[in-house]
Every structure is written in structure tokens, then in C-alpha cells.
Structure 1
């Protein structure tokens, strides 16, 4: 029942939608109690106690509605972002409490949350929950037609099922029994047929009230850009330090040594030609090593195969040198933009390195494709699983790196495997694939 609507068949949606709607309606019960506590605190705002309690009541309401947002997405397929404006940095003392109260009270999402808990029980009753209630009413109709109607009449009771009067003698009145069964069948059929439509209506209601306003969306966007800019600056600084360190410890040291060797050779040419020849051979070896290190450094900055042939062939070249057996499938009709291509390449490279170091896998599968304006890359290994974004595997760093391009990383790694890492980066395919002539 946790399968998302987008991956279900129409038959599964018809069967499951009414019961999901009932579940969403029942989920409103705890939200209603939290909403009652919130409005009680609001009524105390004229006093200092209300100001102190308001942030905790607001956070409790937001926590409850975060559960609602997640559940609505799972049940209806409508993704609802958190709409709350960024809070200021916490400050101690009375001034900090008052400032937080003012910030939360001025956030439109705070009052939209309360609108939700006040109105949703009634909205859900006539949208999400209606199909399920129709089905339950139909099942009750079958019970009335088979045994409950006769029992009501036998004990002198009086009841109505739709327009059918259930009284004494009901069980012997074939017309009324058949009418009850027909109405019950229609209610059940209507419940199942209306289920997906009502869930879509309810999902739009959730987006309209629980989703962000344009103001909060802009503020959240500014915060996201601020964070990703900081990550990009940190990543660039770290990359520059790495390049400087590699040059200083590698090629630069070899070039300095070569200069000293050439100076010694200059003095030895007339005095000891044999020793000069030995030094020349050593200098030639040093120059080859320096050239190799410089090429490795260039590949670490931007591999030539990536620049020449694109990410598909670059990852295939990466797979050839990998210690594990890596299979690459690339379905890219053209090339992504160079910055996105580079970020995706190094993300895949780091994921493959992590797989070799930590997963215990023997095979890795890489799938790359462009769908709905997104570069989607899935890396799957047959290792032991149990990977985590907080487990020191470097995945959090990859997430921050692709976050600069509004990319997202999803990890599915149950204990026992397999581990599936999915990257999605929004991008356009800017130029056709090229290959050297």
C-alpha cells in the first residue's frame, strides 16, 4: 500500500484510492487536536504566556502537517513543498523569544496551517473520504439486505437505507430487499470509480493550502541559492588547494630537480661526459614522470575524453580502468551543458570509487538518460548495502556539489544490498554528441 500512485496501474488506483482517502481523513483527527492547542495559545497572546508558548505550538502544528504533506504525496502523487519562511538565527533571552514570535506570526504559512486543520475535516469528507464512505455504506446495504434488515424489523425497529424504509416485515418484502442490494451495489461501484478523481481533487486542495506562496517560494529559493553558492565557493577553494598541492608536491618538485640536474650536467660535460650521460638519462625519466603527473592533474580538472566525447564515453572510459566490472548504458541524444556534464562526471567517479572501497560489490551498473529536462544517472552495485548519507562515504559531498545545479541525490541501500544511487540534474541538451575525426 506504500506504492506511489504514479507507479500503479489504473486498476490498482481504483482499488486503493478509497481506502487511502479514508486514511487521510482519519489522519485529520490528531491534526485537529494540535490545531485546538494552537488556537488556545493564540487566544493567550494578549498575555506574555501566549508569546512564550506560540513558537512551540507553531512547531507542533508544522510537524503534524509535515506528516500530512508526506502522506498526501504518497497517496495522491501531488508533491507539496514546505512553505515556511526562513527563521532568524536563535537569540537567547526575552528579545530572542519576542523576535521568534514575531517572525512566526508574520509568516503566512502559519495561519494557512491553521486554516487547513480547521477546514480539512469538512473538505476531506466530501473529497478524499467520500469514495470510502460510499463503499462502507454499500457494504452496510448488503448487511441490511441479508440479515440486519430482518433483525431490525423483528425487534420492532425502524430505519432508512437511502429511500428504503426498513421496518417490520422487511425481510419478507423481496422488492425492498432487491432495491437495497441494488443501491448498495451502486454505492460501492461509485466509490471505486470516484476514488482516483477525488484523490486528485484533494491533492490540489493540499497544494493550494499547504504549499508555499510566491513570497515564501522566493524566500526559500534565495536561501537555497545562498547555501549552494557557499557550497560552490567551498568546493572551488578545496579544488584550488588540491591543484596547488599536487603541483607543488609533484610536477613542480620534479621540474626544480630537472633544473638542478641540467645545471650539474652543464658543468660535467667537459670534465666527466659519462656521468653527464647518466644524469641526462635520469633527467629524461624525470621529465616523462612530470609530464605524466601533469596529464593526471589535467584529467582531474577536466578529462580530455569528457571535453571531446561527452559524459557517456567519459564514464565508459572510467569504467575500463575500474577494479570492479562496470557496465554503462547511456541514452543521451545530445550533450548536456558543460558545467552540468562535469559535475555529473565527477559525481559518478566518486560513487564508483566508494563502491570499490566500501560496498564489497563485484559488479556495478551505470544507467544515464535524459528525461523531462533532467539528466538522470542511476548507479547500482551488488554489494552488501547499508550505505548512508551520513556514513562518511562522501555521498553528502556529492549531494552538495550537484546541489549547486539544483540537482538531487537519492539513496536506496538496504542491508544486504543492492545499493542504488540516483542523481538528477536539471539541464538542457545543448549540443549533439561529437567524436574526434
Structure 2
């Protein structure tokens, strides 16, 4: 008897919640579902004359926001998690905004678009009816989850689209890195080596006629050679820091923290070495985040925390948290340094999360799947 009373109380509480939530859900969602369905159908009908090209993308954006809100509601009220099935939104090379036609074609090719549109009539009819009947509200949640959850084909399609995007990002990053190396060589070490060669030619002509002048030019050539060597070392360090190759990611990150112009408190706990591409990606991501913080946030102190997390879907990841006490207001808009870091990490299935209120503090979290070697 004592076990039945709490259970009955819980059931009564759930029924009372359903009495309130169900009618409210029905009243709010019915007009929204009807409106979005009508707008979607009208936009599709107007595609042949060109009007739908302009109206279809914003209507589908609104529909996706509405569907995502219903997914969150199903999770909050029904305890059923419904992942988003959408492919990554298209973008122009370089981070620009795509045109209306490309947006429209992208949406028409995405199976999730048609799944959302087909869900609306079911939500208007069966969804509305089950929402009005309190005992049927969990059927309502199951119906919404079943129609809005991604199918296996949709998950595979989204994964292919993500891999396509990250492949382009990898090609762009490699090309940009090659251009940087060529520019640094041309403007730095190469120019000094050319000047040194010209000085040696002049020295050869002056060594007998004007030994003092030749001696001065030799000293200048020696100085140029030392500066060229320093620039070459800096260039190599920018490609792959020697400390990273020799001593691993923890020591490389500690050395990076010590070189910063602002105080950085580093707490690094990693089990060992990782694959070289992963270590390089994490190192340069942390370098960019620290540099970005020092340049824009004007902090008095930065905290760098690095650990190996085993509680991830990929069964292990390097997790980095960079926190500063600066002015905040950082963003992941296209063109920002953090957006570039996010794109580069995506090549390794890594993610970047940002929390930066207007008055600070700013917290940047990086996570890259990895296994100790």
C-alpha cells in the first residue's frame, strides 16, 4: 500500500500537468502548423515563376525553428530526445552568405525539409486531437518524435555533407598555410639571403682595393645571415613547433602559456602522446584562442585547463577550456579568429563552444576526439 500511494500521487500530478499542457499546446500549435503548411505549399507552387525562390527559404527557416522548439518541448515534457536532422547550412567559399537560388536548391535537396512539411498535416489533425485529450498527450509526444527524428538515411546524408564541408575547409586551410609560408619566405629570409649574396659580390670586388669597406660589409653580411637564420627558425616553429615534436602536447602548451604577454595559469593533465595531427591541431587552436583573448578581451589573467575526457561519444577526447576575465562580447561570426578555429577543428570532428557575455568573463571550450598512443 505504501508503494502505491507515491505512484498514484505521481500519476495524479502528471494528469494535472497534461490537463494544462495539452490544451495550451493544441491552441498554440494549431494555427502555427496551419500557417507554416500553407506558406510552404504556396511557396512551392510559386517556385516555377521565381517568387517561391525568395519566399521558400525564409518560410523553411521559420519551420525549422518551430520544429526545433517542438523537439525541445518533447524532450522537456515527454523525456524523449529528438536530434536535429538538418544538414549544415550552405555557405560561400570564404564564409560569405549564399544566394537565394542556392539556398532554395539546398533546402529542396534536404530530406529533412520534406519530413518537416509532411509532419505539419499530422500535427494539425492527430497532434491536435491527442493534445486535447490529457491521457493521450504521451501519444502526441511519440508522434512528434517519430515524425521529426532523423532517419538513418538522413543521418548518413548529414554526415556526408559535413565531411564534404570539412574537406573543403582542409583544402582551404592548407592552401592558406602554403601562401603564408611562401609570403614569409619571400619577404623575410629570401630577401635577406639575396641581400647577403649581393654584399658578398661587393666584398669580392673591394677586398683588395678597400679592405676596411670590405670588412664592414662582411660584418653586415654576417648580421643578415643571423637574421635570416632566426626568421627561418621562426618559420619552422610556425609550421611545427620543435617542443611539440620533442616533448609532446603538455610541455608545448606550457611553453606557449609562458610566452604570452598576459599571465596564463595552466593546468594540464594528459595521459601521454597523441597522433601528431591531433596534437598540432590542438596546439595551434589554443595558440589562436590565447592570442585572440590577449588582443581583443584586454584581460588581466587567463586560465588554461587541459584534460583527457573519457566520457564522450567518441570514447575519448582532448578537452581544453580557456577562460579570461576580460570585457567579453566575443562571437563566432564569419571572419572572426574563433570561427576559423572552429572550422579547422571540424576537420578532426572537433567542436568549439563559446560563452562570452557582454561584460565577461569569456570561456572557450575545445574538444577534439583522440586516443593516447
User: Shared topology, TM-score over 0.5?
Assistant: yes
The CA distance in 1 between the partners of 2:86 and 2:294, in whole Å, is 40
SS in 2 for 1:367: strand
Moved more, 31-40 or 369-378: 31-40
Distance 1:405 1:85, change over 3 A: closer
1:374 aligns with 2:372: no
1:292 positional shift: 0.4
Query: 1:218 Cα shift?
Result: 1.8
Counterpart mapping for 1:125-274 below 5 A:
125-126=134-135, 208-274=146-212
1:395 to partner: Cα distance: 1.3
Aligned pairs, how many?
340
Alignment correspondent of 1:34: 32
Alignment partner, residue 94 of structure 2: none
Q: Indicate how the Cα distance of structure 1 residues 84 and 299 shifts in structure 2: closer, same or farther if over 3 A, else same.
A: closer
User: Cα 1:254–1:69, aligned 2, differ >3 Å: closer, same or farther?
Assistant: same
Q: Distance in 2 between matches of 1:71 and 1:57?
A: 21
Change (3 A) 1:89 1:265: closer
Q: Paired residue for 1:69?
A: 71
Cα distance in structure 1, aligned partners of 2:18 and 2:240: 52
Distance 1:38 1:101 in 2: 16
Kindly report the root-mean-square deviation, in angstroms, between the aligned alpha carbons of the 2 structures: 4.1
C-alpha separation in 2, matches of 1:229 and 1:355? 28
Q: Which runs of 5+ in 1 are unaligned?
A: 1-13, 131-197, 432-437
**Are positions 1:343 and 2:281 aligned together?**
yes
Contact 2:269 2:306 in 1 (8 A): yes
3-state DSSP of counterpart to 2:175: helix
Alignment deviations for residues 12-55 of structure 1 (CA, whole Å, 9 cap, x no partner): xx9xx96998897544543333334466679999x958998895
Quick check: 1:83–1:213 contact (8 Å CA) kept in 2?
Answer: no
CA distance in 1, matches of 2:305, 2:256: 14
1:385 touches 1:418 (CA, 8 Å); kept in 2? yes
Q: 1:351: Cα distance to partner?
A: 1.1
Separation in 1, partners of 2:45, 2:154: 28
Structure 1 counterpart of 2:349: 406
Greater Cα offset, 377-386 or 79-88 = 79-88
CA deviation after TM superposition for structure 1 residue 359, in Å: 0.8
CA offsets per residue over residues 314-364 of structure 1, 9 Å max, x none?
111011111110011112102232212212211111111111111120100
CA distance in 2, matches of 1:107, 1:118: 18
CA distance in 2, matches of 1:21, 1:297: 65
User: How far apart are the structure 1 equivalents of 2:211 and 2:109?
Assistant: 86
Paired residue for 1:80? 83
1:423 aligns with one of 348, 366, 370: 366
Task: Name which of 111, 121, 124 aligns with 2:118.
Answer: 111
- CA shift, 1:72, in A, is 4.7
Answer yes or no: is the 8 Å Cα contact 1:42–1:50 preserved in 2: no
Cα deviation digits, residues 245-299 of structure 1 (max 9, x gap): 1000100011111111122222223333332222222111111111100010011
| 3-state SS of paired residue (1:107) | helix
Deviates more, 1:276-285 or 1:412-421: 276-285
